[in-house]
Amino acid sequence: MATLSLPNAGGKFAAYTTGEPIQFPSRAETANFNRVAYAAAHVVADPLADNDPWLDANIDWDKTIAFRHYLWDLGFGVAEAMDTAQRGGGLDWSAAKLLIKHALDAAKSRPGAKICCGVGTDHLAVNDDVIIDDIIRAYEEQIEAVESMGGQLIVMASRALARVAKSPADYERVYGRILKQVKEPVIIHWLGEMFDPALAGYWGSMDHSVAMETCLEIMIDNAAKIDGVKISLLSKEKEISMRRRLPQGVRMYTGDDFNYAELIAGDEEGHSDALLGIFDAIAPAASAGLAKLSKGDLQGFHGIMEPTVPLSRHIFKAPTRFYKTGVVFLAWLNGLQDHFIMVGGQESARSILHFSELFRLADRARVLHDPDLAASRMNKLLAVHGLS
């Protein structure tokens, strides 16, 4: 245990003593989870790069790929070059393509390692001159690049399409065209506007229930080319509603970082698999929880997972797009990287009060690997802010 003084919302400091961490396994007890579980993995910046951090993405490739091995060790698949990796928010397509190559090469050294890779249109300038055919070509370019490397595809939402589309028919045209060309079934990603305001109105409507109808129609028309859909709307009701209407054989991958435990456990009509950014942050706990679930121990699953939910809701609180800062902060506290420098300078995206509460919630969820190390690093951050 460790004791430190943390600021609170009242502008005062209070002593906080950590609990004893739960000794979760460092490697998966079983790779035979009864849920498909992908962790959307973050990237580790190079803190010694001579660059302008808000403009340049310099990645520490060794540490970044080592983190993928850490996730594979715990039984997870890796969802690569996604929003958690600051895709489109510091990580451009050129860097994302290199990241995908490094990760796919690493996966080849591990028999059975799961990996899927994000493709989108983020190399296409979003302006009034863009037309639907430009968006199709942009998707095709990224799809061809990743398929040539042997990667399974996650078809990410397009900011350009959200801006250009005039109706649901434009979405049907784009997705119908690209899905007919893919070599293997893909995962469709519906990222809500709470994660990226530029995606408001995706699928042709600001009303999620109306948008869902368009998305479902596209999936029904192209079911043979779809492995699953990941929706990130932070609404368990919307996810369950959509899950119950999916074509046979198409998975629901929860992207709900508020309600994942309940959704993964499921109900009498089905369950969600997982593709989650929070699994990056709570990987040992999530692995242990999924192992319990695989053995039919629902109580044990919830006993491990439920305490992590308040932590996740804090990390993903509005503005939700800044959640990456909390994910990387927790990786630093846990000794999984030796600095708290992020691509795009996003270590500055949350306040010291946010980090202090994150520390407390991570401790209560028992996901601080070494409380003494975490407390030492938290004190260093406080000192940088002139609060030690």
User: Buried (b) or exposed (e) across 9-36, using 16+ Cβ within 10 A?
Assistant: eeeeeeebebeebeebeeebbeeebebb
The stretch 37-59 carries a mean pLDDT of: 92
Confidence of residue 308 (pLDDT cuts 50, 70, 90): very high
Model confidence pLDDT, tens digit, residues 74-87: 999 999 999 999 99
Residue 10: what pLDDT? Answer: 83
Q: Do residues 234 and 319 make contact, with C-beta atoms less than 8 angstroms apart?
A: no
Output the CA angle 283-189-204, nearest 5 degrees: 145
pTM: 0.96
Q: How many CB atoms lie within 10 A of CB 55?
A: 9
In whole angstroms, give the CA distance from residue 186 to residue 322.
27
Residue 240: other Cβ atoms inside 10 A: 22
pLDDT band at 51 (very low <50, low <70, confident <90, very high): confident
pLDDT band at 387 (very low <50, low <70, confident <90, very high): confident
**pLDDT tier, 25 (very low <50, low <70, confident <90, very high otherwise):** confident
Q: How far apart are CA 110 and CA 115, in angstroms?
A: 11
Report the pLDDT value the prediction gives residue 127, as an integer from 0 to 100.
86
Give the pLDDT score at 28. 66
**C-beta separation of 196 from 83 below 8 A:** yes
Q: Which of 19-23, 32-36, 342-346 has the lowest mean pLDDT?
A: 19-23
- In this predicted structure, what is the pLDDT of residue 56? 81
pLDDT for the residue numbered 29? 61
How many beta carbons lie within 10 A of that of residue 54, not counting itself? 11
- Give the model's pLDDT for residue 31: 59
Q: What is the pLDDT of residues 152-192, one digit of tens each?
A: 999 999 999 999 999 999 999 999 999 999 999 999 999 99
Secondary-structure percent of the chain, ordered helix, strand, coil, rounded to 5: 45, 15, 40
The pLDDT of residue 228 is above 70 = yes
Residue 257 CA to residue 366 CA, distance in Å, equals: 18
| Per-chain mean pLDDT for the chain | 95
**pLDDT attached to residue 32:** 80
Q: State the Cα–Cα distance between residues 292 and 93, nearest whole angstrom.
A: 38
The band of 326, judged by pLDDT with boundaries at 50, 70 and 90, is very high
Query: Is the pLDDT confidence value at 360 over 60?
Result: yes
Percent of the chain scoring above 90 in pLDDT = 90
Q: Which of 237, 153, 156 is nearest to 192 (CA)?
A: 156
Q: How do residues 110-138 score in pLDDT, each as one tens digit?
A: 999 999 999 999 999 988 899 999 999 99
Q: What is the pLDDT of residue 53?
A: 82
Mean pLDDT, range 343-361, rounded to an integer: 96
Q: What is the mean pLDDT of residues 377-385?
A: 96
Q: Which domains does the chain have, with CATH numbers?
A: 28-354 (3.20.20.70)
Residues 240/31, Cβ–Cβ less than 8 Å: no
pLDDT range class, residue 9, cuts 50, 70, 90: confident
pLDDT of 20: 84
DSSP state of 124: S
Is the predicted pLDDT of residue 279 greater than 70, yes or no? yes
Within 8 A by CB and 6+ apart from 206, the residues are 200
pLDDT of 42 above 90: yes
Cβ neighbours of 127 (radius 10 Å): 9
Residues 6+ apart with CB under 8 A from 143: 119, 153, 155, 178, 181, 182
